[in-house]
Amino acid sequence: MANDTEHKVLTDSGGRQLFSLYDINRLPAAEKEAIYRSLLPERLLELIRDRGSVEVIAPEGLRFLRLVARRAPEDRDPVFFLELCDTHHCQMELSFCTIADPMAPRYDVDLDEYGKNNLFATLGRNLAEEERAMEAGLFPNQTRRGLRMFGEFLPLLERFTEALGMPLIVGEPLTYDNAIRYEKYGFDYTVGKRLMQEIDAGFAPGGVLYQRLDGSTPFRRPGMEKSVQGRSWAIHDGILDEPWDEVRIYKTIGVHAGVDTFPGRER
């Protein structure tokens, strides 16, 4: 689906066109923060309007942005956390984005047994908290329920990226459910589409992954092959022959790729 919105370029206060995060990061603090705040969805701004805080980390000399919004400055977890960088190939890299409900219960899946960050379970898993999170309907690595706001954020990112003259947004989904979610919003794969198709075949009745859903752990129960959440937890539990890795995605600005590697999933 083509983008029918009028293309606008991004300029600084002096009318000079900006082409990258590097260019924006050279601007005075107030000016660059105003530009970056345009990435926050209106519904999020309403949520943090009274006591909220927005932190912009965009060092001069770097092609990097970290944008963090909290409902209140003292909150443990942000409502919105975004990391972007741009590449020398004129692409916007969506490195990380979470949008979480600050009022929802927290599950400490991000902490090890000593209360230290486990870096997305790469330094050890908190199995008890993971099981609680799964039973509450969360996905791997989610500490709180989401706000279902990514669909409001992505058009802002597309408009921002296009205004810098960049044709693509690229990224790396950290989990299986992330990859499926990105498909929904129009992303395609540079690397990993065959893996996603093999996963779908493997979870089909009689497939190798289907047979491994043997109830040996809470994350490998029969029937989990039917949903994105179930599959993602099983993959997080190590059901694949290799760790989840090396999946790369991209979105052409204004185009929905129409990819669906799990067409039979429960909605």
pLDDT tens-digit series, residues 94-145: 999 999 999 999 999 999 878 889 888 888 899 999 999 999 999 999 999 9
Distance from C-alpha of 153 to C-alpha of 99, rounded to nearest angstrom: 10
Q: Given this model, what pLDDT does residue 55 score?
A: 97
156-184 pLDDT tens trace:
999 999 999 999 999 999 999 999 999 99
Strand pairing category for 168-171 and 188-191:
unpaired
| Residue 71 to residue 258: CA distance in whole angstroms | 35
Q: What is the mean pLDDT of the chain?
A: 94
Rounded CA gap, 12 and 42, in Å?
23
- Cα 197 to Cα 35, 135, 210, 259, 263, distances in angstroms: 39, 27, 14, 11, 10
Closest CA to 110 of 130, 91, 95, 138: 130
Q: Looking at residue 113, what is its pLDDT?
A: 79
Asked if 81 and 94 count as a contact pair (C-beta separation under 8 A), the reply is no
**Res. 2 pLDDT band, cuts 50 70 90:** very low
Q: How far is CA 12 from the centre of its chain?
A: 29
The length of the chain, given as a count of residues: 267
pLDDT at 191 > cutoff 50: yes
The 10s digit of each residue's pLDDT in 37-83 is 999 999 999 999 999 999 999 999 999 999 999 999 999 999 999 99
Is the pLDDT at 4 greater than 50? The verdict is no
The sign one gets for the Cα dihedral 118, 120, 42, 11 is positive
Range 196-216 average pLDDT: 98
The pLDDT value given to residue 160: 98
Q: What is the CA radius of gyration of the chain?
A: 20
Give per-residue pLDDT as tens, 224-233. Answer: 999 999 999 9
What CA–CA distance (Å, rounded) separates 23 from 14? 13
Task: Report the alpha-carbon distance of residue 64 to residue 61 in Å, rounded.
Answer: 9
Please report which confidence band the pLDDT of residue 201 belongs to, taking 50, 70 and 90 as the band edges. Answer: very high
Whole-prediction pTM? 0.93
Contact yes or no for 265/11 (Cβ under 8 A): no
* pLDDT at residue 6, rounded to an integer: 55
* Cβ-contact 232, 176 below 8 angstroms: yes
Confidence of residue 3 (pLDDT cuts 50, 70, 90): very low
Q: For residue 107, with 0-12 CB atoms within 10 Å meaning exposed, 13-18 middle and 19 or more buried, which class applies?
A: buried
CA angle 41, 188, 265 (to 5 degrees): 85
pLDDT band at 1 (very low <50, low <70, confident <90, very high): very low
Structure tokens at 54: 């927005």
DSSP 107-125: --TTB-TTS-B-TTTTT--
pLDDT score recorded for residue 17: 97
Residue 52: strand, helix, or coil = coil
The encoded tokens of residue 55 equal 């932190």
pLDDT of residue 62: 97
